[in-house]
Amino acid sequence: MPTPSSMTNTFAQRLLHWFDQNGRKDLPWQQDINPYRVWLSEIMLQQTQVSTVIPYFQRMSNRWSDVHALAAAPLDEVLHQWTGLGYYARARNLHKTAQIISRDLDGIFPDNVEQLQALPGIGRSTAGAICAIAHNRHCAILDGNVKRVLARHDAIPGWPGKTAIANQLWDIAEKHTPAQRTGDYTQAIMDLGATLCTRSKPACTQCPVNADCLAFTRDETQLYPGKKATKALPIRQVLLLIIRDKKHQVLLQQRPPSGIWGGLWSFPECANEAELVTICARFGINIKSYRLASTLRHTFSHFHLDYTPVHIDTQGAAKGIADSSQRWVVPSAHGEIGLPAPILTLLNTLKT
């Protein structure tokens, strides 16, 4: 446990000393550091834990080793590699940004926050991380882990999602960010939040900055950061149509490019049983029989989706699919297409 004399060292000095001794230095994106790898990891780490991100980062960085390769990849392949990571707008923006950097910037990432923020999917904190880690620029970050560390250290009340609270935390973040070893400091403060200053049961006695942490000295770590007011999530109900042809293929439809599961492939859907015949007729399909399975739930950030799989056997030959947004696939061999995790799970349960 740090002694009161450790308060004579700055917040950054204590944190860097701890990082040198205890920080994580073997994460995949900490090897062969360059702007592309830092950007890729930072987008993946938005609202996602390190342990979840590691295999995705390894697969994608091996498959597309630089921004030109990622830009040249079909969006479907990018979404396929992203399947299961969630928040798919990140993948769509990743692809858009790769194309912009490859096409318009000769593959060179900007090295300042303002230009990076102008690119799809890059906010102020992500831009700061890229500048600090890849370019060692004097830029602050404020991701979820850092918000928690600073809110506790300075006992900042309120939910960090509020503009006034966020601005207060940004001021503190910029005050603590050192001009030297900015990249290491950025890694260090993210590490502190991920390994010691955790959401529940923080290891405060091991923290390098606990000597002047107000939440720790007051035994009030559970109060910070403040929580968002909770409200019941609305429920949306839908039928997912698992349409089989005589070859035991199932019909998939690509969703619109924006919105929930944007650009991903899913089963056709309708609101209720009364619409089944009409929806199937649009695909040139006559229903021989159908069966409703048990309703399942997938929760998004702002609503619950209750979806009921409807297993449909067709009658006669289904018409050929001319629209490129529709395709028949063998459930066990659907190809490299982007699939939402619940749809992939359903496909894997189907026998061919």
Cα gap 136→132, rounded to integer Å: 4
Which sign, positive or negative, has the C-alpha torsion 214, 218, 221, 223?
negative
Q: How many residues does the chain have?
A: 352
Give 302's DSSP letter.
Answer: S
Contact 238, 269 (CB under 8 A): yes
Torsion of CA 39, 41, 47, 50, to 10 degrees: -160
Q: Could you tell me the two tokens for 52?
A: 């979840």
Spell out the residues 6+ positions from residue 33 whose beta carbon is closer than 8 angstroms to its own: 133, 134
Dihedral pair phi/psi, residue 206, rounded to 5°: -95, -5
Cα–Cα distance measured from residue 226 to residue 223, given in angstroms and rounded to the nearest whole number: 6
Cα dihedral 169, 118, 36, 15 in deg (nearest 10):
-10
φ/ψ (deg, to 5) at 7: -70, -15
Angle between helices 50-63 and 75-82 in degrees, nearest 10: 150
As beta bridge partners, residue 329 has 250
DSSP state of 238: E
| Residue of 42, 269, 273, 275 marked active site | 42
Q: Are 58 and 42 in contact (CB under 8 A)?
A: no
42 catalytic residue (yes or no): yes
How far is it, in rounded angstroms, from Cα 34 to Cα 40? 10
The DSSP line for 109-142 is PPSSHHHHHTSTT--HHHHHHIIIIIH--S----
- Which residues are known catalytic residues? 42
